[in-house]
Chain A
Amino acid sequence: MNSRDDKVTTLDRAINLLVPDGCHLSIGGFTINRNPMAAVYEVIRQRKKELHLYAHSNGQGVDELIGGGCVKRLEIAYAGSGRFAPTCIRFRKAVENGTLEVEDYSNFQMTLRFMAGAMGVPFLPTRSGLGTDIIKKWGFSEDLRTADEKLPDRKLAIIDNPFGNWSETPKLVLVPAINPDVTIIHVQQADKRGNARIQGLTFADVEQAKAARHLIITCEELVEEEFMRQEPDRNQISFLNVDAVIHIPWGAYPTACYRHYDYDPDHLNRYRAAAADEFRYRTYLEEKVFNLKDHREFIAQTNSEQLKKLIADPETGYAKALKRSGE
């Protein structure tokens, strides 16, 4: 958090300053929607290393950060990109090759962990997962947890209900709070102080945003503060939490941004094909990330006819009758 009136900056500077190697990072979005992709590519471009990454159900953003060699450890519920990659490909390879350490939770557990972090409590309870291996099997060893002061000593804990059988609930799972060093989300609208508005489903972005020590917001539209204050009921995040605001049209591309554009099925299919092959993936990274100056250049390079097809229909919020079948 900072109290500057104008937090507008460049992505290059924000990532350079707020995402050091080894930091604990959380990214918003869900599978193939509203991932902060411009920021993800900038993290890869700056060759950040050894990140500890948190997400709930994230597809494209998580997979590209792993594929870009930025991630050492991952805490997640679901690494998939819907029908485009039911299991994310670089994620899968990294786990199977033993180059990525993973701790599995459920979606609700991850959501509660961010919520606990946002609320300032050490854990929150749920009934989810009792009797399963999510409770019994830990990805990170006890030694690792004890040695790393930024991790809780336990993956989670089970307690008997301290209120007896109140709510007919004999036992509870306690999941530990997450307070990332930095969270990055992409939103439809923000002003220069950082007041932000998400349209459509918020996923767990608001909890992720408020749990973090630092918050980077990328936005489709940078609007006047007066505009945001005309309908404040529609805003989810206030300037209090925000460190940096970056205006990046198409900032979630190739994932979708409701009411602005759809996901790009062609690009996601090509990505899947490239991700499956080491040589092609190297080429992909060079051509689409390392050799480009920034996201603007990536978008400028993308076929403009295809981009036009992705623009959201004003009534439905997505690109109607978009050709979405596989190659």
Chain B
Amino acid sequence: MPEKDRYKYSNREMMAIAAAREVKNGDIVFCGTGISMLAAMAAKNINAPLSTIFFETGAIDAKLEELPLAVADSRVMYKTAVNGGLAEAFATMQNRFTGSRVVGILGAAQIDIYGNLNSTAIGDYRQPDVRFSGSGGACDVASFVNRTIIFMQHEKRKFVKKLDYFTSPGWIDGPAGRKKAGLPPGGPAAVITNLGVMRFDRNSKRMYLAATYPGITSAEIQAETGFDLDSERAEEFTPPTAHELRILRERCDPQGLILKTPS
């Protein structure tokens, strides 16, 4: 390993960088609270300076001098192109001219093999064992935009055969799923976890293992996944570079608000 690459990084840093690398110049990046915001900031500062950070609250092209702790944080309002409201923000994603350029970054409590998400409840919906926040804008984003990137903690109880509650649409039940439901084209592109990166097969739309982080085997990932995960195509993930880590730590989250606090 070359000298410059010899350093330590946390799982969370790896995840933020993995997601940042998915963002391209020209993308409009929808992000939520926490690590997804950090990933969007990292992309903008490292590999996609011409991407636009966009919040469901109505902030377009937020400058983010400081890391917001909620999508309604006053920090998202500073020097935007436009400060609007929810109605315009979601309309921008439902509008096919602009919506097709949006990359949504989402997280969830459960995911299935087609990238459908649960962020509402575990157990019976009306009498849940565990209740979460609910959709927020996640269902809207997942319904409308061209591409989503999903953050997950990789655990068997979270990668499930059947969701307890289906909050946000992925590929639904296969290649024809979204069309049958009446949804626009597009869907999940990548799932980024603390163990590796998953993608979706072009034909079947089923999740497969695309990359393992250094030191993690595909067998270990399968053991934490509640459905069969094809690992034929798995490669080893290129770890974050010193440059990526420096920007992430010093520019994006110098107070360690996301990188150093438990989720």
Contacts and interface: CB of A to CB of B under 8 A. Distances in A.
Whether A associates with B in a native complex is yes
B71 interface: yes
Nearest to A111: B86
Contacts of B120: 104, 133
Contacts of B116: 132
A29 B72 CA distance: 9
Contact of B125 (A82, A133, A325): A133
B234 to A, nearest CB: 30
Nearest to B262: A326
Interface in B131-162: 131-140, 143-144
A82 B37 CA distance: 12
Contacts of A126: 94, 140
B184 A32 contact: no
Contacts of A92: 130-132
Interface in A276-327: 312, 316-318, 320-321, 324-326
Nearest to B34: A83
Nearest to A85: B133
A130 B143 contact: yes
Interface string B97-136: 0000000000000000000100011000111111111111
Contacts of A128: 90, 94, 139-140, 143-144
Interface residues of B, number: 69
Given A127-B184, A326-B261, A201 B140 contact: no
Interface in B50-76: 56-59, 65-66, 68-76
B77 A200 contact: yes
B134 A76 contact: yes
A158 B33 CA distance: 31
Nearest to B180: A131
Interface stretch (B7-15, B19-27, B164-172, B210-218): B164-172
Contacts of A57: 71-72, 136-137
A232 to B, nearest CB: 18
B3 to A, nearest CB: 33
Nearest to A207: B87
A201 B57 contact: yes
Contact of B86 (A31, A34, A107, A318): A107
Contacts of A33: 70, 72-74
B207 to A, nearest CB: 18
A325 B261 contact: yes
Interface string A101-141: 00011111101100100000000001111111110110100
A133 B165 contact: yes
A30 B72 contact: yes
B135 A320 contact: no
Interface in A76-109: 76-84, 86-88, 91-92, 95-96, 98, 104-109
B57 to A, nearest CB: 5
Contacts of B65: 316
Contact of A203 (B86, B129, B181): B86
B255 interface: yes
B261 A137 contact: no
A204 interface: yes
Interface residues of A, number: 76
B107 to A, nearest CB: 9
Contacts of A91: 131
Given A32-B72, A325-B256, A325-B261, A204 B135 contact: no
B84 interface: yes
A169 B95 CA distance: 12
A318 B74 contact: yes
Contacts of A239: none
Interface in A189-223: 200-207
B143 A127 contact: yes
A312 B66 CA distance: 14
A201 B133 contact: no
Contacts of B261: 83, 325-326
B85 interface: yes
A31 B131 contact: no
B257 A77 contact: no
B257 A324 contact: yes
Given A108-B86, A324-B257, A86 B74 contact: no
8 contacts: A29-B72, A79-B133, A96-B128, A105-B135, A130-B181, A136-B166, A200-B77, A204-B85
Given A127-B182, A203-B72, A318-B66, 14 more contacts: A30-B72, A33-B72, A77-B136, A86-B33, A87-B132, A98-B127, A108-B94, A127-B143, A139-B126, A170-B182, A202-B58, A256-B74, A316-B78, A325-B255
